[in-house]
Amino acid sequence: MAACAGGRARHGGRERRRYRDNTPALQARAEKAVAAWRREHPQGTYDQLAADLAPDFPKGYAPVLRSLLFVLERHEARMVTGATITGRGAR
């Protein structure tokens, strides 16, 4: 793995972003963008989300956007079903 400028590393021909370089402001902006995108595209896929939003964020940020969509959907599913986790998996 060779280091690249801007805190990224090359691995397998692709750049990987160091997520510890993520800032609270960038994270908040991403969360709002993902929530707004989901409202506009209720049947949209993770790949569509990344294609639509990734250009507005730092290079290599698509996995973060996808994970935020996963978290949003999980939260919404719990609200609809009332499902909760107990025991070791609870948070």
* 2-51 tens-digit pLDDT: 444 444 445 455 555 566 668 899 999 999 999 999 999 999 999 999 99
Please indicate, yes or no, if residue 43 is contained in any of the structural domains.
Answer: yes
Q: What are phi and psi of 43, to 5 degrees?
A: -105, 10
Residue 22 pLDDT: 82
- Global confidence as pTM: 0.65
Output the DSSP codes for 2-20. EEETTTEEEETTEEEE-GG
Q: Is the pLDDT of residue 54 over 70?
A: yes
Q: Has residue 14 been placed in a domain? A: no
Do the beta carbons of residue 37 and residue 30 sit within 8 Å? no
Shortest CA distance to 17 belongs to which of 54, 47, 69? 54
Domain that holds residue 38: 23-89
Q: Is residue 38 part of a domain?
A: yes
> For 63-75, what is each residue's pLDDT tens digit?
999 999 988 888 6
In a domain, 31, yes or no: yes
Question: Does 72 fall in a domain?
Answer: yes
Domain contains 59: yes
In a domain, 61, yes or no: yes
